[in-house]
């Protein structure tokens, strides 16, 4: 048996809201574990280790935070990448508004008050992906959605339950569209949804 390692951007998995597992680019039997993905293909074992700074891992215990504090934790991840890579590089390599990038570059890392709650997760992923050690933006979004959908499976909740328990003024259908990428999701929406799922899972 051979052993190979691939980045998350090479071997993607996607879980839909009907709890069906879809694999992109592979026909195999898959076991998904927290933080690591194990697959057997043609008698070969493949481990795709998911790296950090994927938004959903911004806080160690998201269920214990307020949505605002969790949103601020996302911004801290973005701030760290911008600080490391440089404002000008982020401006050149992404389509994110320059003022937003500068705002994130100058946040107080210790604050629990978000300054860019309306930033789309796609734009946040683009900022993270500008760092050479991070996956591409598309992979970050795939992993983020999968994490949320897997959390729904673990906590046994549906989109209507989420909609009725978060302060977002969204219907169950609108939550589903955001989770599946058919509608934009903001950092504030992500924080509210992730916080609810994590707190539910902690019960």
User: 130 in a domain, yes or no?
Assistant: yes
pLDDT at 26: 34
State whether 40 and 76 are in the same domain. no
User: 56 in a domain, yes or no?
Assistant: no
Neighbouring residues of 22: CB distance < 8 A, sequence distance ≥ 6: 13, 14, 15, 16
Residues spanned by the domain of 36: 3-49
Neighbouring residues of 152: CB distance < 8 A, sequence distance ≥ 6: 17, 158, 162, 179, 197
State whether 95 and 183 are in the same domain. yes
pTM of structure: 0.77
State whether 80 and 40 are in the same domain. no
Give the tens place of pLDDT for each residue, 62-115. Answer: 999 999 999 999 999 999 999 999 999 999 999 999 999 999 999 998 999 999
Sheet holding 44-49, edge to edge: 3-5, 44-49, 36-41, 29-33
User: What is the Cα–Cα distance from 107 to 98, expressed in whole angstroms?
Assistant: 15
* Stretch (H or E) spanning 137: helix 137-155
pLDDT at 43: 38
């Amino acid at each position: 048996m051979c052993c190979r390692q691939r980045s998350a951007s090479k071997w993607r998995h996607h879980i839909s809201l009907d709890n069906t597992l879809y694999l992109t680019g592979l026909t195999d039997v898959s076991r998904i574990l927290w933080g690591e993905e194990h697959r057997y293909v043609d008698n070969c074992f493949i481990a795709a280790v998911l790296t950090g700074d994927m938004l959903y891992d911004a806080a160690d215990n998201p269920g214990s935070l307020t949505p605002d504090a969790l949103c601020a934790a996302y911004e801290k991840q973005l701030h760290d990448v911008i600080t490391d890579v440089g404002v000008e590089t982020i401006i050149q390599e992404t389509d994110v508004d320059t003022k937003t990038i500068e705002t994130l570059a100058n946040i107080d890392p210790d604050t629990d008050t978000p300054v860019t709650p309306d930033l789309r997760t796609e734009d946040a992923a683009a900022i993270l992906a500008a760092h050479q050690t991070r996956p591409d933006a598309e992979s970050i979004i795939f992993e983020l959605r999968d994490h949320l959908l897997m959390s729904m499976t673990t906590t046994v909740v549906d989109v209507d339950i989420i909609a009725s328990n978060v302060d977002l003024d969204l219907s169950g259908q609108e939550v589903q569209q955001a989770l599946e990428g058919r509608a934009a999701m903001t950092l504030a929406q992500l924080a509210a949804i992730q916080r609810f799922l994590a707190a539910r899972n902690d019960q």
